[in-house]
Amino acid sequence: MKNLIYKFIIAGCIISLLLIYACKKEFLEIQPLGLLAESTLANKAGVNGLLVGAYSLLDGHPGGNSMAQSMSNWQFGGVASDDAHKGSEYGDQTDLEFIENYSALPVNSYFTAKWTSLYTGVQRANDVLRLLATITTGLTDAERTQITAEAIFLRAVYHFEAAKLWRNIPYLDETISFANGNYSVPNTEPVWPKIEADFQFAIANLTTTKSEAARANSWAAKAFLAKVYMFQHKYAEAKVLLEDIIANGVTAKGAKYDLLPNYADNFNPLTKNGPESVFAAQMSVRDNSNGQNGNSGELYSWNGGPTLCCGFYVPSFSLVNSYKTDAVTGLPLLDTWNDSDLKNDMGIASSEPFTPTTDPLDPRLDFTGGRRGIPYNDWGLMPGASWLVAQFAQGPYNNKKNVVWQKDLATTYENRRSSINYNFIRFADVLLWAAEVEVEIGDLAKAESYVNRVRTRAANPTYWVKTYKDNSKPLDGFTDTPAANYVIGLYTGEFTANGKDYARKAVRFERKLELAMEGHRFFDLQRYDNGTGYMADLLNAYIAHENNSFDYLILKGAVFTKGKNELYPIPQDQIDLSYVDGQPTLTQNPGY
C-alpha cells in the first residue's frame, strides 16, 4: 500500500460499488451490501477496502455541501464563535449567516449536511465490523484485532464530532442496520458512556505504531478519550491519560510527541504528520482525483488575492485584538485586550497609504490572520481591501493559517482544494488540556509550566514572520528582520501569585491564541460554560464589540441565548424521517 491518503479516491469508488447509502430517505436506513455479493467481499482485501473507506470520511466530504461538511468545523466552531466572521459578501451562504448570528433554525441546510456526513462515517465503520464478522479465513487474529479496533475508533470519532454539535444524538453500533430493521434509534440516552467505551476498546487493542501515518494508534485513542473526559469535566480521569501521553506518547510512525519548532509547520502540507500531529484527517491533491481528496473546507477560506476564491472565514476584530501583548512582560492583556482595536485599514483603499501598527504583538497573529502590510506567506504584502471579497461585509483581515505557499502550488493545490491536513488533535492541545486540568484539580505552577512550553515555541524568533528581501519579489525569500514588533514572554509565577481564577483565565486565553481558526473555539466555550452562562456572556460581549468596530449587518441585533445556543438544533428533516407509529424517534434540542 503506497499510502493510505492516496487510496481514499479508490476507497470512494469501492464504497460506491459496495454500499448503497439511503441518505435521501433516512440517515439510518443503510441498505444491505449491494452490487457485489457479500461473499465476494468477505476477505482480507475486501474488509481493508471498507476500512479505508471509513477513514476517507474524516475529510468530511461524502458528497453534497462540502462547505458544511468539513471536519475542521470552521463553520460551527469558528464562525459561530468569537474567532471569525463568515466573510465574503452579504447574502452569500445565508444559512451560514444564520449560524453566525445564532438565529439558525432546524431546517438549516448546514445541519443536515453535517449530520449526513458524520453518520455516513459511523455506518462505514460499522460496515467494516459487520463484514469482518462474516470472514472466517485469510486473516490472522492480530489483523482481525487491528481492523476491529480501527473501525471502532473511527465510529467513536464520528459520534464524538456529532456529540459536540448536538450532544443529544443516537448512538449506532454494528447491530443497527436497515437489514435488521432497527434503525429508528432515539437520541434520549446519554451518549458519552458509549463513546468512552469505544475509545477504551481502541486503547486496549490498537498497537502503538502503524505502518502508515494516517492510521489510528493507541495513543491517538488515549488523546480522544482525554478530550471526551474534558467535555464532561472528568478532570481526574483526563489527568492520568494526559500525563501518560505527554511522557510517553508517540505518533503512528513512532516519533515521540512534541511541539514542532516552527508553529507554521502544523499547517504546511510539506511538513504534515510530524511529531505534533496526534491524529489528523489526511488530505491530498494531484492524485488523479481532481482535488476531491483535498481540503475543500479550508480552501473556501482563501480570499481574493492568491486564488480568486472565496473569501469565507476571516478573523474577527476581537480575535486579532487578542494578540496584543504587554510591552515589558510580553504576556497577553488578559483583561484589556479588547478595550480598543488594533490599528487596521478598515475603509482604507489598497491604493491609499497605510502603515501597520508598531504595538507589541504575539507573533502567532501573523501566522493566523493576514493583515495589511504584512507578508502573506510568499504571495506578497497583503494589500488590504483588494484581496478581500467585500471588506465592508467581512472586516479588514484575511485567513492565513490555512493557505498554502505560492512556491508549492503545483503540488499542494488543485481545483480549490489543498493538501493541508486537518489536525483533530495536536500536541499543543494536549499540553493545554493538561494545564486546564492542573488549574482545576492540581498544581498551578505545573499548569503554568505547560502553558510556558507552548509559549516558548512561539517566542523563538527564528520562526517569526520576517520581511521580504524585496517586497516586489516575494518569491525571492525573507530577511532576518521580524515583520512586526513581536514581543512575547513567559509566565514567571503569576499563576501561583494570582490564584486559580487568574490561572484559569490565562489557560483559556492561551488556547484561544494557540488554536485560533482551527475550529475549536465554540466547543471550548461550550465546555467552559457547563450551565453557568459563561458562553452567553462572552459571545454577547463579542457581538457588541464587533458591531462597534464596523457596520456589520450579520451581527446587528444578534443575541446568543443561554440554554439554547450552546448546542445546535437537530436537523428537522431527520426528525421528520424518524417517525414510528406517528411519533418521532428523535427529540429536538431545547429552545428550537
Query: Is 43 domain-assigned?
Result: no
pLDDT attached to residue 30: 40
- Cell triple for 540: 454577547
pLDDT attached to residue 22: 31
Measured N-to-C along each axis, helices 44-56 and 109-132 cross at an angle, to the nearest 10 degrees, of 160
Residue whose entry in the numeric block shows the C-alpha cell 505502518: 211
Query: Is 218 domain-assigned?
Result: no
pLDDT attached to residue 589: 98
Question: How far apart (Å, rounded) are the C-alpha atoms in residues 340 and 116?
Answer: 42
Say if residues 297 and 69 touch (Cβ distance below 8 Å): yes
pLDDT attached to residue 128: 97
pLDDT attached to residue 298: 60
Kindly report, residue by residue over 492-523, the tens digit of the pLDDT.
Answer: 999 999 999 999 999 999 999 999 999 999 99
pLDDT attached to residue 303: 61
How many distinct structural domains can be found in the chain?
Answer: 1
pLDDT attached to residue 297: 61
The CATH number that applies at residue 320 is 1.25.40.390
Say if residues 411 and 313 touch (Cβ distance below 8 Å): no
pLDDT attached to residue 15: 43
Query: Is 436 domain-assigned?
Result: yes
Which element (helix H / strand E) includes 314?
A: strand 312-315
Kindly report, residue by residue over 245-283, the tens digit of the pLDDT.
Answer: 999 999 999 999 999 999 999 999 999 999 999 999 999
Query: Is 193 domain-assigned?
Result: no
Query: Is 491 domain-assigned?
Result: yes
pLDDT attached to residue 61: 75
Residue 523 to residues 61, 166, 535, Cα–Cα distance (Å): 21, 11, 10
pLDDT attached to residue 141: 97
The contacts of residue 440 (CB under 8 Å, 6+ apart) are 233, 235, 504
pTM value > 0.85: yes
333 exposure class (CB count in 10 Å sphere: 0-12, 13-18, 19+): middle
Query: Is 28 domain-assigned?
Result: no
Query: Is 584 domain-assigned?
Result: no
Which residues in the chain come in under a pLDDT of 70?
Answer: 1-39, 62-65, 297-308
Question: How far apart (Å, rounded) are the C-alpha atoms in residues 354 and 275?
Answer: 40
Domain enclosing residue 298, as ranges: 237-519
**Backbone φ/ψ region at 8: left (φ over 0), alpha (ψ -120 to 50), beta:** alpha
pLDDT attached to residue 288: 84
Burial 30-58 (b: 16+ CB within 10 A, else e): beebeeeeeeebbbeebbbbbbbbbbbbb
Query: Is 505 domain-assigned?
Result: yes
pLDDT attached to residue 302: 61
